[in-house]
Every structure is written in C-alpha cells, then in structure tokens.
Amino acid sequence: MAWDAVELLKELVQIDSRNTTSLRSGAEPAVTEGPICDFVRGLLVNLGFDCAVQFAAPHRPNLIARSGRDAKRPWFAFEAHLDTVGVDGMSIDPFSARIRDGRLYGRGAADTKGSMAAMLAALSRLVRDDHAPNLIFIGACAEETGCEGIARLELDGPPIDAVVAGEPTSNRLVTAHKAHAWFQLLCRGRAAHGARPEAGENAIYRMTDAIAWLRRTVAPRLAAQTGGGLQGSTLSVNVIEGGRRLNMVPDECRAAVDVRLVPGHPPREFVQALTEEARQTLGHNVECSWLHVSPGLETDASSPLVRAFQTALNRRGMASAPEAVSYCTDAGVLAARGTDAVVFGPGSILQAHAAEEFVELEQVETAADILEDAALAYNAART
Ligand SMILES: [Zn+2]
C-alpha cells in the first residue's frame, strides 16, 4: 500500500533531530540524528530496500538505502537531510506537528521533513511500479552545519545517475546555487615591547591593511561576478582575533572570512589566487587555511534529470524553468562527485529556520506526485 505523505510528515516532525553541534567540533551532542535515522530505516526495510548506516562521526548517522530491479536501468536517488536547526526563539511547539488551515507546523516541517515525507511517499509507489528506475534514498546528517554529513558519505555499489536533494523550493526546480567557503587569514608580525613599537612589526596593522584591501578592491570585483543565473558573489570578514597583551606589539592576527561564490568560480582556485595577489599588493605574506567548503551547483538545463522534472511539472501546468538560489545544499556536494543533481521540495525557504515554521500540506502531496513522475520520466528517457 502506498504511504500517505501527510501522515509520514507528522511522524517525522515529532522526532527531535536538532543539529546544534557541527561534526568539525568533535563534541558529542545531546540530540542526534540517530532516532530519525532508525525510523526512516525501518520504513525503507519494510519496502524491501537494502539499508546501510554509516557514521559520519560518533552517533551521527548517514543512511543509504537501495532498491535495484534491473542492472540496465539508471539509479535515481532521493536525498534529504535528517537534521534540523535548533528551536531557540520558536513561538510554537516545535515537535507537536499540529495541523491548522491546511498547514503542518513544527521544526523541520519545511526544512526539510516535508521533502523527506514526499520522497518516502513517492518511493512507496515507485517500488511497486514496473516502469521505475533503480531507487536510492540517502538520509544525510549534519547538513545544517554546512553539508558536513553528505561530504563524509562513502558511496559503494553502482554509481548514482541522478539525484534530487529535498529542500523547500516551493516545488520549483532549482538547478544552481552558490558555493560557500570559510577560510582563515593569518598575518604574522614581530613581537616587541609596547614601549618600543618601532622594534616590532605589528600583525594587527598588517591585517587591517589586508581587510581594507578585501573591502575596497576584492569585494566590488566579486559583486560583479555572474554565473548559473546568479549575480554577485560576496565576501565578509566575520571574526577577528589578535594580540596577546596590552604592552606587547602583536606578532599574530587572524581573521575568518565567509565567501559565497556564484557557479563557475571554484572556491579553492579563488582563494589561491587571492593569497598570491595579497602578497604582491600588500608586500607581506597573508597565510590562508581552509575552515570549510561546500561546492556550488550548476546543472545543465538540457540534462535528462532536468528534463524529467520539467515533464512532471509541465503536466500539472506548474512553473518549470530552472531557477537559482543563494543558499548551499547537499546537491552541490553530490554534483561535485559527478552526479546530475537538482534541488526540489515543498515549503518555502522563508519558513526554514523560522520562529513559526510550517509547510502547506497540499504542496507536500503535490511534491510526492512530481517526484514519482520525474523518476518515471527519467527512467523512460534512459532505458
Ligand atoms: Zn535544509
């Protein structure tokens, strides 16, 4: 029997899967994705999927479930992150999954349990459909702390041909988003007694020169970049620390920088070029180290995956033009591994992380239908 997306969503929202601890921190959180991973795994086992759980870090599971029917058919994957953001500042009960006026309220309703429920409902129908592709469901941990779980996922078995990552796009087809990079700049100087600053080299002064250069020269250049239908990369220096004592010329200063680059401008190459340019422009070394990178997304509008979604959307008279968003998703990480990827799901990004998060139930049910149709259209085009 096919599953009801709304019933699934209710159960998913009632499971606390807050992610308030990044994998990078190495700390063990009080709440993990463990219970929701177990719940979804149980559902997929009932559908006959082969399920495997990999731990991206202690107690932080990634779920990979496969249901293959024919080696000649493509592998079509549904991916949704298992975690939600925290509940601080919420003005509603985060876990009661209350339904009112056609909306379901709660943490994760839009981001991204609405998508997950629609995917599971679609899978319950596809698994019994003779025209379906080979199917995969990936439930990834730690997306909200920077797509960390999916980045640590090891995929064995047949390669994935296409993946749809579930995020609240209001059931619009997203094929492009920015890349996200955090890096740290380090300026070194020479320590000296505060009474004789001329004997030292002030690392904070070097850093302020570097930051002024980033603001005046680099940021306007980034703002003019275009790619993947997006206009304007951005840069912001968001954390700074330096100096040891008030009577000592500082020998080190660090600044952390948040960069969002439109598609076609890979973060690592950007930062490499930036470091070289800084040395030439500023006349001293600025050392750079990575804190975090999430790849961007730019999927070819003529790819079979995009066309399959457009077939499903057009059939319902819905908008089907590929769109671009400025937030990062797990789709970027999977696309960087060579899989065609799009982002699609019910709910609005405006409700994601909100004090009163909700999703329109009609959108969840429509999403399940579109996901099912897109998988069938993809299989028909590829076999
Ligand atoms: Zn999300």
Q: What is the pLDDT of residue 351?
A: 86
Q: Is 129 exposed, middle or buried (0-12, 13-18, 19+ CB in 10 A)?
A: middle
Q: What is the pLDDT of residue 7?
A: 98
Task: Spell out the domains of the chain, with CATH numbers in brackets.
Answer: 5-177+296-382 (3.40.630.10), 179-294 (3.30.70.360)
Q: What is the pLDDT of residue 19?
A: 96
Q: What is the pLDDT of residue 24?
A: 87
Spacing, Cα 352 to ligand 1 middle (Å):
7
Spacing, Cα 30 to ligand 1 middle (Å):
21
Instruction: For residue 114, give both structure tokens.
Output: 């609405």
Spacing, Cα 112 to ligand 1 middle (Å):
5
Instruction: For residue 32, give both structure tokens.
Output: 């993990």
Spacing, Cα 268 to ligand 1 middle (Å):
24
Spacing, Cα 245 to ligand 1 middle (Å):
43
Spacing, Cα 334 to ligand 1 middle (Å):
15
Q: What is the pLDDT of residue 382?
A: 92
Q: What is the pLDDT of residue 285?
A: 87
Other Cβ atoms less than 10 A from the Cβ of 354: the count is 19
Spacing, Cα 129 to ligand 1 middle (Å):
29
Spacing, Cα 212 to ligand 1 middle (Å):
34
Spacing, Cα 110 to ligand 1 middle (Å):
8
Q: What is the pLDDT of residue 383?
A: 84
From residue 207, alpha-carbon distances to 99, 221, 240, 242, 253 in Å are: 53, 20, 9, 9, 7
Spacing, Cα 353 to ligand 1 middle (Å):
9
Q: Is the dihedral of CA 319, 323, 329, 332 positive or negative?
A: positive
Spacing, Cα 136 to ligand 1 middle (Å):
19
Query: For residue range 338-357, what is the model confidence (pLDDT) as tens digits?
Result: 999 999 999 999 888 899 99
Instruction: For residue 359, give both structure tokens.
Output: 């999703």
Spacing, Cα 165 to ligand 1 middle (Å):
9
Nearest-CA neighbor of 308 among 145, 131, 146?
131
Spacing, Cα 330 to ligand 1 middle (Å):
9
Query: For residue range 100-115, what is the model confidence (pLDDT) as tens digits?
Result: 999 999 999 999 999 9
| Residues in the chain where the model's pLDDT stays below 50 | none
Spacing, Cα 329 to ligand 1 middle (Å):
7
Give the residues across from 104 on adjacent strands: 99, 359
Spacing, Cα 119 to ligand 1 middle (Å):
14
Nearest-CA neighbor of 327 among 354, 297, 299, 357?
297
What b/e sequence results for 146-163 when a residue is b if at least 16 CB atoms lie within 10 Å of its CB, and e otherwise? bbbbbbbbebeeeebbbb
Spacing, Cα 111 to ligand 1 middle (Å):
5
Predicted structure pTM score: 0.91
Spacing, Cα 258 to ligand 1 middle (Å):
19
Spacing, Cα 248 to ligand 1 middle (Å):
46
Other Cβ atoms less than 10 A from the Cβ of 122: the count is 28
Query: For residue range 25-84, what is the model confidence (pLDDT) as tens digits?
Result: 888 898 999 999 999 999 999 999 999 999 999 999 999 999 998 999 999 999 999 999
